[in-house]
Amino acid sequence: MKNLKMKSARAAKDLSQEELAKICEVSRQTISAIEKGDYNPTINLCIAICKALDKTLDELFWVE
């Protein structure tokens, strides 16, 4: 399942995939794969993404 909430939050902060990847210390491909739903990130990576985007885990990763 695509993570459109994460992609939207990243765009709202005016960050590219590359910039978010550097903040979270992962590759751009990892960020892309998460957004496309091709990769299930670790909880530590989820937390790093949330901190970088000023969002909670529920806001970005909870599936309704």
At residue 62, φ and ψ (nearest 5 deg) are -80, 130
Q: Which domains are seen in the chain, by residue range?
A: 4-58 (1.10.260.40)
Using only C-alpha atoms, the chain has a radius of gyration, in whole angstroms, of 10
Residue 34 near residue 3, CB atoms below 8 Å = yes
Tally of CA atoms within 13 A in the half-sphere of 17 that contains its CB: 11
Assessment of whether the complete model's pTM goes beyond 0.95: no
Give the pLDDT confidence score for residue 1 in this predicted structure: 80
pLDDT-derived band of residue 13, with 50, 70 and 90 as boundaries?
very high
pLDDT beyond 90 at 63: no
CA–CA gap between residue 22 and residue 4 (Å, rounded):
20
Question: 15 pLDDT exceeds 80?
Answer: yes
Mean pLDDT, the chain, as a whole number? 96
Residue 55's CB is within 10 A of a number of other CB atoms, namely 19
